[in-house]
Every structure is written in structure tokens, then in C-alpha cells.
A and B are shown apart, each in its own frame.
Chain A
């Protein structure tokens, strides 16, 4: 008789306990911005295990049902989808999204790092706004792109981000020098530099003289058609035709001038070229 009573009492207690645990529910916030504090509310009573799985989090801890679960800012710094699970016998789940915080940084890619002057669509840039937790801000924002050479404006355009990206493309300027490229979004700005260099040589001219052993040749200062000095290292090819003999020397430009020495004593016709540009011809008599 006593045994039967104990069994029934035990069953009743178990049923009550299960009933309390089964009553658990979980309620998550409808929206959270990255890095904000948040709370998840639970119903029921008794102990339970709480799991949080998100883009950069996977943790568990013990909670008391019926109490609020506080999410620290570091738990929800990364934008994306989060899964909250509360398990006590059975598990209840809820999903919520964390949205990016306000823009705090601009990733700005500019190409190329070195560009000849007066080239169409030669410079391009792309900007992506991120918040302080490196979440891509996808809401449309206006990015201001500005390019300048020696403090004189070369290009300016306001571009609205689409899917988190804003971009521009423009021609290079007329004069050689460092181009400052700036992308600005509210009080956030990022700078990049592009070196504009002279374009192909224009009016390539040479002069020469005979020496004891051959010919000493040099160009006049090599400019492009805009008057910019062609950068050092640009190769100039000197070709000497002496009767049936042909000699070729490649010489790099140094401080705007390329020099070459060609051996030989016969009368020679000298020609010069750099890239696709051909310069003047020079005739030098025999020694």
C-alpha cells in the first residue's frame, strides 16, 4: 500500500516537473544593431541550457527559465543570422538578425598605382563602407570620390552605394605627378595615391658625334606630347647602319636623356625609337 503510494507520488512529481520544463518558450528581439546589448526572454521555470550560434559565436551556458538572458555587445558584434536555443528536456529555438552598425571605415581600392597621362578610363576606384566591427553596410550611402594633383581638382563625383559598393572610373590627368584619391563618407575618409607618369615620347630627337672608337649618341630631353619628362628607365633603341652592318643598342633614359656608344669608323645612318615612336635620322660621316 505504502509502495503504491510512493510510486504514484513519484509519478505525480515527475509529471509536474516535466510540465514546468515543457512550458519553456524563448523570445528574441526583432532587430539588433551590431555591438548593441540585447536580451532574450524565456518562460517557464527551472534550469535550462542556453546555446547561441552566430557568425562568429558558438557558446552555451546555464540559465534559469523565466529569467532574461543578457547578450553582451561582444556576442552580437558580427552582422548576420543568429540561432538561440534553450534546452530543458526538449529544446526551443528562435532566429534573429543582427544588422550592421553605422559606417566607421571605408575600404578603398584604386587602380593602377602608376598610370600614363591622358589615358581614357585609366583610373578606377571601388569603395565599400564597413562599420566598426567590419560588417559591410548595405544600406545606400553616398560616397564622394575626389582626385587631385598638386591641390588642383582633377575629378569629383558623388556615388550612391549599391549592395554596399560604390565605384568610379575616369581618365588620367594631363600632367605627371602624384594624384591624391580620396573617398569620403560623412566624417570617414580614406586616401590613396596614384603616380601619373609621362605618356609615350613625342618628337624624339638625337644628336651624335664621332669619337676615337666610334659614335657617341644621345637624345635631347625626352618629353611626351604634353611636355612631361619621360620617366627614367624608359628604353630608347639606337640603330646604326654602316653599309651592310647594323648595330643596335638599347639604352635606358636617365634624367630625361638616353645615351649610347656604338663602335665603328665607317659612315653611318643612325635612327632612334622608343616603343612605337620613331625619332629623327642622323648621318655621320666616316672617320
Chain B
């Protein structure tokens, strides 16, 4: 009985250690794409068309997904994550970066992203929306597994989104010094 109890205790402690190791391993393996992307949307300046509630939810969902995809694409140097949320020139430019990263051996991590979005123009027929994004994130640039640059970024973006079959896609994403 005593030996059984010891075995149980030993087993529990091993299991505990394994859980701790797993949690730590997961912590180390956590990629930028796994960290949450916070998006806040302000519609006060939107016009001339009023933004419907469902559109607001779709913009929030799809903009968040777009930046999760950027983080994933740039961290893994893969264009695949950019397939859904982007179209036109925005997609081409981001894909170019991902492909060039494969050649240069560079990778970028976008950590702790926060986006303050202002809808500044919503076309009368609802076929295009312009947004201003003040984005904050921690940028890490690596090459060969070594971080060569770290920076806290506050960046302004002008964004054009258009509705597609089942989502809003980013057609234009342009960083600007200020609004």
C-alpha cells in the first residue's frame, strides 16, 4: 500500500513536471500569429453612407484576420496566409515581401498588435470603405534565428477595404507619417 502510494505520488509529480514543461514549451513556441490582435473600430467619422451593424462586425473580424495573416506570413516567410484577406495591390506587395524574405533569410515578428481604426469614408453604394489605422506593435527582425532588430512601432496606415463574396478584403494598405 505504501509502495503504491509512493508510485502514485511519483507518477503525479512526473505528470506535474510534464505539464509545466509543456506549458513552458508552448510559451517558447508561441508565435506572433498566435498572439491576439486587438482591433477597435470607430465609426463616428464614417460617411456619407452609414455603416450597418453587420458591416461593422465584418470589418472588425476581417481586419483582425488580415493582421493575424500578415504576422503569420512574415514570421514564416510564406505567402499562403495572405490568400484570403487581401486583394489587388495590397496582396501583391505583401506576397512580394514574404517571397523576398525566403531569399534573404529575414523574418519579422509582429507582437502585441493593437489597432485603432477610424472609418473615414464609406462610399454611397457601400462598395468601398477607407479606414485610418493607428497601429502599435513590437517588431522583431531576425535572420538565421538571431534577432537583429527590435522596436516598438506606432504606425499610421491608410486602408481601403471592399466587400467580397463572404468577407471584406484589404485592397490597399499604405503606411503614412501622419493623418
Name the residue of chain B whose CB is nearest to the CB of A51. Answer: B106
Measured in the bound complex, the distance between the Cα atoms of B97 and A58 in whole Å is: 6
Interface: A202 (CB within 8 A) = no
CB-based contact A167/B124 at 8 Å: yes
Determine whether the beta carbon of B141 is less than 8 Å from that of A87. no
When distances are taken between beta carbons in the complex, the residues of chain A under 8 Å from B170 are: none
Does A124 have its Cβ within 8 Å of any Cβ on chain B? yes
Given the complex, which residues of A lie within 8 Å of B42, measured CB to CB?
Answer: none
Cβ-based interface call for B83 (8 A): no
B116: interface (CB < 8 Å):
no
A59: nearest residue on chain B (CB-CB)? B104
A81: B residues at CB distance < 8 A? 155, 175
B104 near A78 with CB under 8 A, answer no
A162 partner residues in chain B, CB cutoff 8 A = 121
Q: Mark A39-58, 1 if CB is under 8 A from B, else 0.
A: 00000000000010111111
Q: Are B123 and A124 in contact (CB under 8 A)?
A: yes
Say whether B172 faces chain A, with CB atoms less than 8 Å apart. yes
- Nearest opposing residue in chain B for A54, CB measure: B97
- For B125, the chain A residues whose CB sits under 8 A away are 109, 111-112, 124
Query: Closest residue to B120 on the A side, CB-wise?
Result: A163
C-beta contact mask, A80-101 vs B, less than 8 Å → 1, else 0?
1101010100010100010000
Please state if A163 and B121 are interface contacts (CB–CB under 8 Å). Answer: yes
Pick the contact of A78: B93, B158, B176 (CB < 8 A).
B93
Interface string of A110-153 (1 = CB under 8 A from B): 01100000000100101010000011101000000000000000
Among the listed A55, A91, A124, A134, which residue makes an inter-chain contact with B148, where contact means beta carbons less than 8 Å apart? Answer: A91
B148 x A85 contact (CB < 8 A): yes
Chain A residues with CB under 8 A of B48 = 167, 169
Q: Give complex CA distance A81, B175 in Å.
A: 6
B37 on interface, CB distance cutoff 8 Å: no
A208 within 8 A of B: no
Q: How far is the CA of A135 from the CA of B88 in the complex (A)?
A: 12
Q: Is A76 an interface residue (CB 8 A)?
A: no
List, in ascending order, chain A residues with CB within 8 A of B160's CB.
128, 136
A126 to B143, CA, bound (A): 44
Stretch at the interface among B3-11, B25-33, B61-69, B127-135: B127-135
Q: Which of B131-176 contact A (CB under 8 A)?
A: 132, 141, 143, 148-149, 151, 155, 158, 160, 172-176
Do B100 and A164 have beta carbons less than 8 Å apart? Answer: no
Asked whether, in the complex, the Cβ of A163 is within 8 Å of the Cβ of B132, the reply is: yes
Ordered by A's residue number, 13 sampled pairs between the chains whose C-beta atoms are within 8 Å are A51-B106, A55-B97, A57-B97, A60-B105, A79-B175, A79-B176, A111-B127, A112-B125, A126-B128, A128-B160, A163-B158, A164-B130, A165-B121
Extra inter-chain contacts (10) besides given A81-B175, A83-B141, A162-B121, CB under 8 Å: A51-B106, A53-B97, A56-B96, A58-B104, A85-B149, A93-B149, A97-B175, A97-B177, A164-B130, A167-B48
Give the top 10 A-B pairs by smallest Cβ distance, nearest first: A80-B175, A56-B93, A124-B124, A111-B125, A81-B175, A58-B100, A56-B96, A134-B89, A60-B104, A58-B101
